[in-house]
A and B are shown apart, each in its own frame.
Chain A
Amino acid sequence: MYVVIAGGGKIGSNIARTLVDMQREVTIVEQRRDRFEQLEAEFGHSAMLGDATEIAVLERAGIARPPDLVLAVTGDDEDNLVISQIAKEGYGVPKAIARVNDPRNQQTFDLLGITQTVCATSGLLALVEHEVPEHGLVRLLELRQEGLEVVEMQITGDSPAAGKRVAGLSLPEGARLVSVTRHGVGEIAVGQTVIRPGDQVIAILKPGLENQLRRALVG
């Protein structure tokens, strides 16, 4: 397995270290000389100095082989988009994963066909949302390509679902309960599972049904 990593900051260098430990072949490209020198000290000839949005630099990194995976993890969203596009559309790289720095740019990655993205800020925001569940519904996982998402809700004494069996709930079409967690112990939700105040329930649903699901469960 051959992996090209564009961007040698904290994310890129840690991934490179892990892949090298796993005996994978890696090239990590960094344009800042100070960072490159640190990478070179650690990774030797697997580190490369250059701007990974330049086609000649990518070619020196072996983009034409092509690699099994390209990771575009620089601190610049435009650069990550361009690197991913050149890799996928120019050299037929089977898989390119891009880092999204500004969550507002997520829609641009989607628009330009860069479907595999990772956004640390969105992940952190989801955790903050989890700690401050203002809307009663927290998104745990978004399966954008599959058109599904996994959410969590907190049941209170006032919730319409409190005291009911799962089979007796009128959930919207396209939503299903996955599990019920009580006192820190999770159980798979089945028809006979009774929902109690204080429970955390996890559901899988099609995007857009969040409000209907929330009304049915937590009110």
Chain B
Amino acid sequence: MRAVIIGCGRVGSAVAKELAGEGWDVTCVDEDENALTRLGAWKGGFVVGHGMDKDILETAGAVDATAAVVATDGDNSNIVIGQILQRRYSIGCVVVRILDPARAEFYAKLGLHTVCPTQTAISTLTEAVRACETGIVRQVTG
């Protein structure tokens, strides 16, 4: 099974290594050739270029990919590239990282599988404080 990862930063490279470890045929795309160093001893594919570029996506194997992860450092680039992969290449599993919770929610409604680390952080931190509060209340009442 082939996966393309657009954006080989901290998140993209780690996802790439995880998937490759599970037997996926993974190709990463990044504008910066130095991003390859994040992958360590990498046996998968690596293409230098912009994810909006048709030729770059096709070189990376978008045509016959079963999954794609889009995690460049630009929300709007991710939104657009995710939709290209979904619509032009009919990739069934396209997951897009969007940092802005409002845009993540909007595009989720439009049928894009969005992941919003900011929202996750907000929920986790709020939950953590709630848990402390419960602890404090228990201490007081106990």
Cα–Cα, bound, A105→B88 (Å): 13
Q: How many residues of chain A have a CB within 8 Å of chain B?
A: 20
B14 → chain A closest CB, angstroms: 24
Of A37-45, A53-61, A136-144, the one contacting chain B is A53-61
Cβ–Cβ < 8 Å partners of B75 in chain A? 53
**Contact across chains for A112 and B87 when beta carbons are under 8 A apart:** yes
Over the window 25-36 of chain A, the binary record of Cβ atoms lying under 8 Å from chain B Cβ atoms (1 yes, 0 no) is: 000000000000
Q: Provide the bound-state CA to CA distance between A81 and B83, in Å.
A: 11
- Is A90 within 8 A of B84, CB to CB? no
**Smallest CB separation, B57 vs chain A (Å):** 11
Q: Would you call A78 an interface residue if the criterion is a C-beta within 8 Å of the partner chain's C-beta atoms?
A: yes
B1 interface residue per 8 A CB criterion: no
User: Which of B53, B79, B102, B110 makes the CB contact (< 8 A) with A104?
Assistant: B53
The verdict on A210 contacting chain B, using a C-beta distance below 8 Å, is no
Task: Find out whether the CB atom of A54 lies under 8 angstroms from the CB atom of B76.
Answer: no
**Contacts A105-B52, A111-B88 given: A78-B80 contact, CB under 8 Å?**
yes
In the complex, the answer to whether B100 meets A82 with C-beta atoms within 8 Å is no
Q: Is A21 an interface residue (CB 8 A)?
A: no
Give chain B nearest CB distance to A31 CB in angstroms.
12
Q: Does A89 contact B (CB under 8 A)?
A: yes
Find B103's partner among A76, A82, A107 (CB 8 Å cutoff): A82
Q: State the A residues within 8 Å of B (CB).
A: 53-56, 76-79, 81-82, 85-86, 89-90, 104-105, 107-108, 111-112
